[in-house]
Amino acid sequence: MRKPDFFIVGAPKSGTTAMNEYLAQHPEIFIPRGKEYHFFGSDLKKSKRKYIHDTDRYLSLFIQAQNEKRIGEASVMYLCSTMAPIEIKRFNAAAQVIVMLRNPVDMLYSFHSQLLYGGFEDIADFKAALEAEEDRKQGKRVPQGTLLLNALFYRDVARYSGQVQRYFEVFSRDNVHIIIFDDFKRNTGREYRETLRFLGVNPDFQPTFEVINPNKRARSKLVTKLYQRPPQLVRWPVRALIPLKIRRILEEKARHLNTKYERRSDMDAKLKEFLKKEFAPEIEKLSELLDRDLTHWSRN
């Protein structure tokens, strides 16, 4: 059975869902339906109910791959995991990695909104959610719907420099492709073609570029709770009778029906300025690591 040989490892809300969808359209690439399998990353505090821990079950996600040149998957918390790069390399020594990075302040605000929508965050106020980080690291004030606790450690998720450095060290720079979200948004076609060249597939293929994963909120928190955490009376027969891939499809349809797309209000100006200053040193480190000036993230 073939193994995946490339991974989109994050960061969250940085274009990973769009890139995953665009790559899946390529005839020389196989990507299973959906993303966020988070098989790797043994240091991540993740739900045993939601995520796959068995290697055979994980490989079954790729069983439909045929003659495609490349096989991949996307899980955005691999980037902030200390163990994921080591485990991926051990799993497939020839693997390549795609990293997508966005202004950390903008990413965090968007990520918080995404977690609210999914029912994984229960503090609607962004500032209050940031202030809850330390409590949550101690296991306090954790929302019942949380499936991957590390996602609530917002600042840790946004400290890119150390994360990217780990992947460079494990895979070498030649096998890690960095995409800056600003570039991806400004010229999607160019960044897509560069990614195809990195993967060694035909760079002339033109996918359908659609807006993927815009800001959204749940129409009903109750409905979100029901498909995320169904009553135990229902849960066991459903898990026993319906394969994981089918459950994911049904969950996706339920989520779609419960979704309302809308632009989120701007972040509080004082909070944004505070976070820009806080992350300025981190952005300088990243700029040095990538040999690219990203310090405008701290100013704009």
Per-residue confidence of the chain (300 residues) as pLDDT tens digits? 789 999 999 999 999 999 999 999 999 999 998 889 999 999 999 987 788 889 999 999 999 999 999 999 999 999 999 999 999 999 999 999 999 999 999 999 999 999 998 889 999 999 999 999 999 999 999 998 788 999 999 999 999 999 999 999 999 999 999 999 999 999 999 999 999 999 999 999 999 988 765 554 555 555 555 555 566 555 556 566 677 667 667 777 766 665 666 677 899 999 999 999 999 999 999 999 999 999 999 987
| Rounded-to-integer distance, Cα 11 and Cα 288, Å | 19
CA distance 280 to 138: 27
The fold of 6-215+263-298 is Rossmann fold (3.40.50)
Residues in the chain: 300
Closest CA to 15 of 203, 201, 255, 187: 187
DSSP state of 178: E
Coil/strand/helix, residue 268 = coil
Q: What is the token pair recorded at 162?
A: 């150390």
Given the structure tokens 């030649």, which residue do they identify? 174
Domain ranges of the chain: 6-215+263-298
pTM: 0.84
